[in-house]
Structure 1
């Protein structure tokens, strides 16, 4: 089997590249949180938020692979956007756990980019557990109340749709709560990677409605898809690091010769090329499993997240080393890729956690 993009997927990637090149401004987007005009254009003209949402719920009816393609292209440019937190994580949680009536109510606005969703899940240790969280849900006469704290909530400070993973007396559930509800506090969490936006959400008896009270199987899938989505960001950024490094070694002259002509540096760049290509193969294989092979999804997700996290961390570090002094200046983007590498290495499970998961398949 040959894993490669088809003509439509290549056209999608090229369109996203072209739009971001014309409209994107990374430093301005970091200051603003994300470029709302660019996000609106990505949603209106390309439909990126609805790619993996079925047509019956207002989406494009594509597979997850198409969203993966867009994530990789946005990862290459470090473009801040709600795609991961809203269009992938929140939308996949609704698709996996919510009943049809709630899907019909929630997904069309997410697919169009009119609504910004956030999934409150990670516990105080930064773990996305399928068996619960640090939030507990208690039944009341007319619904549920939530108490506890969720950390590392992507886009949680600005979302108008909040979903919360909470433990119940019988297991784990997925709940919807209004961002403006009494008892909900949202605090921005400073991040190592300035292109990612996190928040800490605290619930003190906040009223909520249940989308599912038996969400563990759905959450396992959502966690795997989220980990695979992060690998797309990592692969795109690792490829851009490699491209920047090769260009620098070709153009930078030292001792009367281009740096790239030195054999030792050629060997180091060749090793980086192997790491990037292997990471891309594992990431795409995992994306294919997310779209077509649910039985193979957990294994592929663990393999891809472990490998891509380590590979991108090494490539980003070598990018700084091979660029020399310019790479540690604010004006150059190398430090931003280095921060992205270390941040995404922890997001939805560190490499060691996913390698531990692989023991389940031995």
Structure 2
């Protein structure tokens, strides 16, 4: 297991960090998604194609490299569909589609992934070789900016024109997404597991309604499908769907690590220049102890994320445990550091003009994106009880 970045990964980090410092610093994040920045991110750095296999025009990098990039985009509070597209690309590695992967690698296609991967409230119908979807996805990450939505159906749509799969649940789809990591309540069919499908979000039968969310820097949308054409990409299977959910959890943890690190760096810098009662606030014992606690959370979170990224690339058997640990710990640690970053700034930290609230809101939105930490703690406990591999064990 490697917890230290390689020289190549450090070069990638510096390239992404330098680009974002100039093109999209945190102060600019409140302006929202800038398509020009997204285009440059792909044209100059090729970030959306980082995880895409080389045969489809991507860099063919692993999760370790993607985690490095996501840490930097998280630190910059990058608006737009980069994270959502990374989620979708991870799903496409399990059910490859040349058209979509090539488009993502070239930066022509921004995609998003339904969360949970097998959502409640979707009904699929197959008729004359065509598949259509009906239902509502209440919260889709970057749903207004993305071109394509990926989702998984519990099984293959009925092919006789009369059947449906995954009838909408009676709760109108407003439950908290991610309460069941790895899939919605619809369950999986007995014919081989979930099937990945793609929907053109600009096509017929699709309505996107922007949502007012806590995070001002990255949007979500309610996506309503009414006979929307869908293209079947391939069968994920139960194991594939679970692996995608784990990869998404690791990717999100990498972004959270970036938010955590940037929050800590900002308050440490402030503590060195802010004077109260004739002294720098960083000289007060209470502030010192708080900063030390925040630094410990950073070190622990970094170790967890590096281990999870390594497991994704090198030890798939350990990935479920590592992914659950990443979301059980890193999400909460990120929120707590962002919260204390805001509080230690004092009154200025609560002002609209200061950036502290942007980090706080991104941290909270990320913490619950895949379900609250208690869900992942419960899953981690279940995996350990069942005898799943644990780091350091033979």
Same fold, TM-score > 0.5, yes or no: yes
Aligned residues of 1:97 and 1:215 also touching (Cα < 8 A): no
Q: Structure 1: give runs of 5+ residues left out of the alignment.
A: 123-127
Aligned residues of 1:227 and 1:349 also touching (Cα < 8 A): no
2:333 maps to: 311
User: Equivalent residue of 1:186, what SS?
Assistant: strand
Deviations 1:104-142 (A, max 9, x none): 2221110111111122x23xxxxx155x53212122122
User: Equivalent residue of 2:332, what SS?
Assistant: helix
1:213–1:144 CA distance, 2 compared to 1 (3 A)? farther
Between structures 1 and 2, the one with greater helix share: 1
Aligned residues of 2:335 and 2:363 also touching (Cα < 8 A): yes
CA distance in 1, matches of 2:202, 2:253: 33
2:78 maps to: 79
Aligned residues of 1:49 and 1:83 also touching (Cα < 8 A): yes
Aligned residues of 1:176 and 1:210 also touching (Cα < 8 A): yes
1:153 maps to: 140
2:56 aligned with 1:57: yes
1:263 maps to: 285
Moved more, 154-163 or 252-261: 154-163
User: Equivalent residue of 1:164, what SS?
Assistant: strand
Query: Among 87, 110, 115, which residue is 1:116 paired with?
Result: 110
1:341 maps to: 363
Map residues 157-306 of structure 1 onto 2, 5 A cutoff.
157-168=144-155, 169=165, 170=189, 172-213=194-235, 215-306=237-328
CA distance in 2, matches of 1:52, 1:260: 41
Deviations 1:268-309 (A, max 9, x none): 111111011101110111111112211111110000111011
CA distance in 1, matches of 2:287, 2:228: 57
CA distance in 2, matches of 1:28, 1:237: 15
1:141 maps to: 128
1:7–1:332 CA distance, 2 compared to 1 (3 A)? same
Aligned residues of 2:327 and 2:373 also touching (Cα < 8 A): yes
Q: Which has the higher contact order (CA 8 A, sep 6+)?
A: 2
Aligned residues of 1:250 and 1:258 also touching (Cα < 8 A): yes
CA distance in 1, matches of 2:297, 2:49: 31
CA distance in 2, matches of 1:26, 1:273: 21
Aligned residues of 1:134 and 1:166 also touching (Cα < 8 A): no
2:360 aligned with 1:361: no
Residue 2 of structure 1 deviates from its aligned partner by 4.2
TM-score calculated relative to the size of structure 1: 0.91
CA distance in 2, matches of 1:213, 1:63: 22
CA distance in 2, matches of 1:205, 1:104: 25
Aligned residues of 2:81 and 2:145 also touching (Cα < 8 A): no
CA distance in 2, matches of 1:4, 1:113: 30
Deviations 1:164-184 (A, max 9, x none): 333444453221223243322
1:125 maps to: none
